[in-house]
Amino acid sequence: MPGDMSSASPGERAAVQSYCAGEQTSLTRNLCVTNQMATIQRLGRKPDLSVASSQQKAEIAEACGDKKVPGERYACQRSRLAAASLPVRDEPGGRSMSLDLAANPAGTQNLFKPQPSTNLPFFSLQKWRLERPAMPPARNTPTLPAVALNEKVKDSVYVVMASQHAIELASRTEHSQGSAVAITDHILLTNCHVVAGRPQIAVSQDGAGSRAKLIYGDPAGDRCFLQVDGMVLHPVQGVRRAEELKVGETVYSVGTPSGLERTFDVGLITGLRQWEGVRVVQTSAQTWYGSSGGGLFDERGNLIGITTAIAANMPHTGFAIVGEDFWP
């Protein structure tokens, strides 16, 4: 459930509780905890620092002390341990995380293994605002039944595969698999955790594909843009603004759970949340492994979010980053 820290190590639990203690309500504290646990899972578990000498611990503390977010601090500590040729292992006492990033582990490298965010290229927000494509305006067309809605949006959702090496991508070994949504004929939205640490990227649909490159990465917000040059994409027709979304709306998800391309499901908006400045849509529309980077659409076919995570202990509960927030 939200706020569950049963999988955390003692140090992680203490750090997350301290970080979220300032939240004013139990709801916002639970959301803070859920987000911090997901961040730790994505960026790195708390390392065992007992392998370091007193001097090395002091140097690590000085280097990483400005990292207030626990997951970012742990990633820094892990990097420093590795740089000192010390063993990097998790602090004892932790178990598998209970909030899973919605990526497909079947037959692939476990995407939940922390990936170094430094492998994402750096782009300043100011520079990106000058270069990014315009956000497609929402269409106020008549609502559609499910069959017609699927026909309208399914061609905008693609499969993404990413590996560290080209040979792994070609052989489909040691790769991550997720989804992406086209917003122009050459640019797509996806989650950074799908491609982080894996520079070899391919995008495909119905067997036709192209190599892709990462053109913007915001690891803290899990928002990434991909560009393809070897195929023409089918962009979404519109993107809804966050303030227009209402709890109780019917929504539709399209993604690639467990490699099942363009899987379609219907549900409701069951909550509108905010995690450290990133707005998320909580939904009962099916989200499962491999759906990361897929689309959440309204009844007119407008994109409202990019599916990002599932609550493993809450059936039929998924989360999508608000589509508008890919244009910060």
Q: What is the pLDDT of residues 16-75, one digit of tens each?
A: 889 888 765 565 566 577 667 777 876 778 999 999 999 999 999 999 999 888 988 998
What is this structure's pTM? 0.65
| CA atoms of 323 and 179, how far apart (whole Å) | 14
Could you tell me the mean pLDDT of each successive run of 10 residues in the chain, 328 residues long? 70 90 64 72 85 94 91 90 90 67 35 38 68 92 96 96 78 75 96 83 91 85 89 96 95 87 93 79 81 93 91 72 91
| CA atoms of 198 and 126, how far apart (whole Å) | 25
Dihedral of the alpha carbons of 241, 244, 247, 248, in degrees to the nearest 10: -110
| CA atoms of 312 and 263, how far apart (whole Å) | 19
- Report the residue count for the chain: 328
Task: Give the Å distances, CA to CA, from 58 to 43, 300, 310.
Answer: 22, 57, 38
Nearest to 265 by CA among 157, 142, 150: 150
Contact 294, 179 (CB under 8 A): yes
Q: State the angle between helix axes of 70-83 and 26-43 in degrees (0 to 180), rounded to the nearest 10.
A: 20
Name the region of 301 (left: φ>0; alpha: ψ -120 to 50; beta: rest).
left
| CA atoms of 317 and 328, how far apart (whole Å) | 26
Q: What's residue 117's pLDDT? A: 42
Radius of gyration, alpha carbons of the chain = 20
Buried b (16+ CB within 10 A) or exposed e, 294-303: bbbbbbbbbb
Name the region of 151 (left: φ>0; alpha: ψ -120 to 50; beta: rest).
alpha
Nearest to 178 by CA among 252, 236, 260, 114: 260
| CA atoms of 186 and 204, how far apart (whole Å) | 12
- What does the DSSP assignment read for 177-236? EEEEEESSSSEEEE-HHHHTT--EEEEEETTEEEEEEEEEEEGGGTEEEEEESSS-----
Buried b (16+ CB within 10 A) or exposed e, 96-105: ebbbbbbbbb
> Taking the mean position of all CA atoms in its chain, how far away is CA 217?
11
Q: What's residue 254's pLDDT? A: 95
